[in-house]
């Protein structure tokens, strides 16, 4: 169990440098010109945004096309962080439950 916990902590440290909190959102829009192809058919896009909830509101940041691979990597790193963090927290809970069944430890 300790070995697995160390692996999880190592994984958290590895993704910490890249993490970006949020989701990537592709937005397609009409430009508003009545003669444009988007008025009757295919919209313009995608234009990418990093979206997340803050203080009850959705915030969106424009992502230039050249930043997209880096932002995708950062969002994936944050998803990995959450996944590994939840495993680690569950293992910690199991450890605490075992300790409380055994009673207080002596030092």
Mean predicted confidence (pLDDT) in 12-36: 90
pTM over 0.85: no
Q: Who wins on pLDDT, 74 or 14?
A: 74
Contacts 24+ apart (CB under 8 A), 35-43: none
Whether residue 107 lies inside any domain: the answer is no
> Structurally, how many domains does the chain consist of?
1
pLDDT tens digit string along 59-104? 999 999 999 999 999 999 999 888 888 888 888 898 888 888 876 6
pLDDT tens digit string along 38-57? 988 899 999 999 999 999 99
The answer to whether 12 and 81 have CB atoms below 8 angstroms apart is yes
Whether residue 52 lies inside any domain: the answer is yes
Q: Is the pLDDT of residue 33 over 90?
A: yes
3-state DSSP assignment of residue 20: coil
Residue 26 belongs to domain spanning: 2-30+42-88
Whether residue 51 lies inside any domain: the answer is yes
Whether residue 7 lies inside any domain: the answer is yes
Whether residue 11 lies inside any domain: the answer is yes
């Amino acid at each position: 169990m300790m070995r697995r916990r160390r692996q999880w902590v190592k994984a958290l440290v590895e993704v910490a440098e890249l993490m970006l909190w949020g989701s990537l959102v592709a937005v397609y829009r009409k430009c508003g010109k009545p003669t444009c192809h988007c008025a009757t058919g295919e919209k313009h896009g995608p234009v990418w945004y990093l979206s997340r909830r803050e203080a009850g509101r959705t915030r969106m940041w424009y992502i230039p096309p050249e930043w997209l691979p880096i932002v995708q990597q950062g969002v994936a790193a944050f998803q990995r962080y959450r996944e590994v963090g939840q495993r680690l927290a569950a293992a910690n809970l199991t450890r605490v439950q075992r300790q409380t069944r055994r009673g207080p430890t002596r030092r």
